[in-house]
Homo-oligomer: A and B are copies of this chain.
Amino acid sequence: MGSFNIHPDFQNEFSYATSPLDPEEFRRQGHMVIDYLADYYQNIEKYPVRSQVEPNHLKSHLPDSAPYNPEPIENILRDLQKHIIPGLTHWQSPSHFALFPCATSTAGFLGEVLSTGFNVVGFNWISSPAATELENIVMDWFGKLLKLPGSFLFSGGGGGVLQGTTCEAMLSTLAAARDQMLRKIGRNNIGKLVVYLSDQAHFSFQKAAQIAGINPSNFRVISTTKDDEFSLCPNSVRSAIIADVEGGLVPLYLCATVGTTLSTAVDPLGPICNIAEEYDMWVHVDAAYAGSACICPEFRHFLDGVEGANSFSLNAHKWFFSSLDCCCLWVKDPSALIKALSTKPEILRNQATDSKQVVDYKDWQISLSRRFRALKLWLVLRSYGVVNLQKFIRGHVNMAEHFEQLVAMNKRFEIVVPRKFSLVCFRISPSAMNQNCKILSTEEDVNLINQKLVESLNASGHVYMTHGVIGGIYFIRFAIGGPLTDYRHVDMAWTLIKDHADALLKAF
């Protein structure tokens, strides 16, 4: 491969004879990569937001086996720029409005960098006491910011843990709930356990339940309606539970959502938790995206009722500037988690654990090994302070409100679901279609033109958005939350949307 010529300095295979972590070489290459990334952010608007490559793009550019001889970092960065960058969808681009944000920040980035540099494995307290204790501390800090009830904090007998993703948080708490119930009703009754979720809950929950060995025929997916703004109806929950109990099954776990993926619907936590309590069920609140907004007093009411839940999670890597991955999970009863997930091998035995004075986080999660993720949250909270974190979030919400107004004022478009946070759900309206067509257009026609619109926008490379289908309506999701996004990007996107819609309406 022409691009893999060996740099003259690297002809000698003994270049790295001493150490793969020579501090001076680390320093030299580290500075180089920091500059590379700073330049990347500076130039990020020049790249197509959604990668425009075809499948098997890389295969044609990279060799089919690992090099025998070492290669200099300069060559690797050159190949990165030439071959990898075109294959990236740029999640930090200010014009990335797809799915939900996955925001990094200088502080979140540096927290991860320090964690990777120390590279400690914080599975138990002794393996790095500060990793565990900083996590205890920042999880209480964050819980207080969210005004979680004291029972979710270490200071109140509960506690928080940093996991990778919401999927892990769901699976861990589900295993805790399941084993707690099976201790009561007997292991052999695993087939009777039932889990409940709305048809708007994140699809990862069904996957978690499947991994946990819950019979898929016992997944109760409860329908939501437009009238309820796609939130769970407590009466429907109760009916489903009663039917199962009457059928000899055992209600186990309900997954409620604050800010659903499709349309940021919010389930009514209070009424749902009350019902669950009657049936001795575990309630988990998934606030993966919207939870972060609840550090602002004006959004906190969306968490009302969380005091009745057993566990609560949000992804700090989504909208809390903490870079992937960083899921914050709080539980009221850590002992339920620990009973399901603890291991006590002799090789990890140590005095601190025996003293029961410390937290061993390996017993709060699926995996044994764990990174020092608390550094990220610590840096984010300290570098920006509560004041700026609220400001960043309000900035995104204000931009979404601005975008929503632009859409609402334009008769060719309509808002599909009322906006709550920084996601706007919109589409080309049926009336715009009818104005343009001689015959009345069908709902399929409307869906089709909106599908064409999102495809044409994404193919332009100037923006990236994703779609959703709710109540049979195909719509476009415009999610704001990138660390570099400003009003001008929102306005540019809006201009582009109008232009592409015009062209499509004319051609229809």
Contact between chains at A141 and B65 (CB < 8 Å): yes
Q: A73-B110, A466-B347 are in contact. Are A391 and B210 (CB under 8 A)?
A: no
CB <8 Å contact, B141 and A368: no
A315-356, CB < 8 A from B:
315, 317, 321, 323-325, 340-341, 343, 345-347, 352, 355
**Contact between B30 and A383 (Cβ–Cβ < 8 Å)?**
no
| Residue A235 CB within 8 A of the other chain | no
Q: Does any Cβ of B come within 8 Å of A440's Cβ?
A: no
Q: 9 pairs across A/B with beta carbons < 8 Å?
A: A19-B486, A71-B382, A73-B383, A85-B130, A164-B164, A165-B369, A190-B191, A213-B213, A347-B477
Q: Is A221 an interface residue (CB 8 A)?
A: no
Asked if A64 is at the interface of the complex by the 8 Å CB criterion, the answer is yes
Expressed in whole angstroms, the Cα–Cα distance for A323 and B20 within the complex equals 12
Interface residues of A in 73-123 (CB under 8 A from B): 73, 75-76, 80, 83-92, 99, 102-110, 112-114, 116-121
> Which residues of the other chain, B, contact A113 by a CB distance below 8 angstroms?
30, 33-34, 37, 113, 116
8 Å CB interface, A14-65 against B: 15-27, 29-31, 33-42, 50-51, 53, 55-59, 62, 64-65
Q: Name A42's contact: one of B15, B23, B484 (CB within 8 Å).
A: B23
Determine which of B87, B144, B391 lies in contact with A133 in the assembled complex, contact meaning CB atoms within 8 Å: B87
| Interface residue from B31, B347, B383 paired with A468 (Cβ < 8 Å) | B347
Which residues from B are CB-within-8-Å of A386?
66-68
Interface-side segment among A167-175, A224-232, A493-501: A167-175
Is the C-beta of A415 less than 8 angstroms from some C-beta in chain B? no
Taking the complex as formed, is A358 at the interface, i.e. its CB lies under 8 A from any CB of chain B? yes
Contact between A387 and B70 (Cβ–Cβ < 8 Å)? yes
A91 lies within 8 A of B188 (CB): no
Task: For the complex, count residues of A whose C-beta is within 8 A of B.
Answer: 166
Instruction: For A206, give the chain B residue with the smallest CB separation.
Output: B343
Tell me how far the C-beta of A376 lies from the nearest C-beta in chain B, rounded to whole angstroms: 9
Are A262 and B30 touching (Cβ within 8 A)?
no
A353 to chain B: closest CB distance in Å?
10
**Chain B residues near A324 (CB-CB < 8 A):** 116, 119, 121, 369, 371
Q: Given A119-B323, A345-B203, A469-B346: A89 and B144 within 8 A (CB)? A: no
Residues of B with C-beta under 8 A to A435: none
Secondary structure dominating the interface of A: helix
Contacts A57-B130, A324-B369, A387-B69 known; A19 to B483 CB distance under 8 Å? yes
How far, in whole Å, are A90 and B118 apart by their CA atoms in the complex?
7
Note all chain B residues with C-beta closer than 8 A to A137. Answer: 58-59, 62, 64
A188's partner among B58, B117, B165, B191 (CB-CB below 8 A) is: B191
CB distance from A310 to the nearest CB of B (A): 18
Given A66-B145, A187-B215, A466-B347, are A106 and B26 also a contact pair (CB < 8 Å)? yes
In the complex, the count of this chain's copies comes to: 2
**A385 on interface, CB distance cutoff 8 Å:** yes
Residues from chain B with Cβ under 8 Å of A29 in the complex? 106, 110
Complex Cα–Cα for A35 and B486 (A):
32
- Write the nearest CB–CB distance from A21 to chain B, whole angstroms: 4
Asked if A38 and B23 sit within 8 Å, CB to CB, the answer is: yes
Docked pose: A217 CA to B75 CA in angstroms: 55
**In contact, A381 and B38 (Cβ under 8 angstroms):** no
Beyond the given A26-B41, A58-B137, A88-B130, could you list 9 further A-B residue pairs with CB under 8 A, ordered by the A residue number? A20-B103, A23-B41, A29-B110, A76-B382, A116-B324, A121-B324, A164-B369, A175-B211, A187-B216
A207 within 8 A of B: yes
Instruction: A112 to B134: give the CA distance in the assembly, Å.
Output: 22
Query: Which residue of chain B lies nearest to A204 when distances are taken between CB atoms in the complex?
Result: B368
Whether the pair B128, A88 counts as a contact (CB closer than 8 A) is yes
B175–A99 contact, CB under 8 A?
no
List B contacts of A253 (CB < 8 A). Answer: none
Residues of B within 8 A of A73 (CB): 110, 383
Judge whether A379 is part of the interface by a CB distance below 8 angstroms: yes
CA distance A127 to B53 in the complex (A): 12
Chain A 159-215 interface residues, beta-carbon cutoff 8 Å to B: 164-168, 171, 175, 178-179, 187-188, 190-191, 203-204, 206-208, 210-215
Given contacts A55-B358, A76-B379, A347-B261, contact A118 B91 (CB under 8 A): yes
A385's partner among B23, B67, B107, B321 (CB-CB below 8 A) is B67
| A371 and B327 alpha carbons, distance in the complex (Å) | 13
- For residue A126, CB closer than 8 A to chain B, the reply is yes
Contacts of A22 in B (CB 8 A): 106
- Do A211 and B483 touch across chains, with their CB atoms under 8 A apart? no
| Inter-chain contact A55/B129, CB cutoff 8 Å | yes
